[in-house]
Amino acid sequence: MKRALFPIAAAALALSGCASEALAAENVVAAPAAKRFANEGLGLKTAVFAGGCFWGVEGVFSHVKGVKSAVSGYHGGNAATATYDQTNTGVTGHAEAVRIVYDPKVVRYDELLRIFFSVVADPTLYNRQGPDRGSQYRAALVPVNAEQRKVASAYLKQMEASGKWSSPIVTKVERYKKFYEAEEYHQDFMIRNPTHGYIRRWDKPKVAALKRLYPSHYRAKFVRN
């Protein structure tokens, strides 16, 4: 039943939120390799990133080798407001975010940070990304353990000192609260809606930039949840 309703729900999104078409792709910046490597030990790990519309964040990480899943959702507010309609008001405290599960033997957390700031999110934009405006579209790093927090904080300082960006870095490290999965029709949105205007003009260029800048990390197959 959800799959039958999906086209209707997706079409409705064209009226608001991250469905509005972008006029141009984001600037691509070859972010510096991290000086502080992440050491999270063995086994699969979880990380949370907020970087504007979650369709593109999920889409890029779904093409990264070592990423086992990428789930769109909400982070920063409470359970009662963890819906698309409420988050889209910009007053819930939630950011559109993506929770990824990855194998640190294949891709480390610091490498995910580099990819994120190279092709996904502009760290100099406050409460917006691309055509999307509001606190729900802020870029934020949400470490889920002490090692990630140390690596994220060190990397933001390194970015600021690198001179790669002409404006100040405003992306923050946020304390992990609870991640709430988004509605089913948001999941795997890029692969399920490849001709959507926003996907074609905004998010597909990010995946192309991932392939061009980080070919050793790029995986052609989109990993579905």
Tokens standing for residue 156: 């933001």
Taking alpha carbons only, the member of 94, 95, 111 closest to residue 103 is: 111
Angle between helices 54-61 and 204-213 (to 10 degrees): 30
The C-alpha angle with vertex 83 and arms to 118 and 52, in degrees rounded to 5, equals: 15
Tokens standing for residue 157: 């300082």
Tokens standing for residue 53: 């519309």
At 161, give phi and psi (nearest 5°). -85, -10
User: Which residues are marked as active site?
Assistant: 53
- C-alpha 7/C-alpha 225 separation (Å) is 19
Tokens standing for residue 86: 């409420």
- List the end-to-end C-alpha distance of the chain, in Å, as a whole number: 18
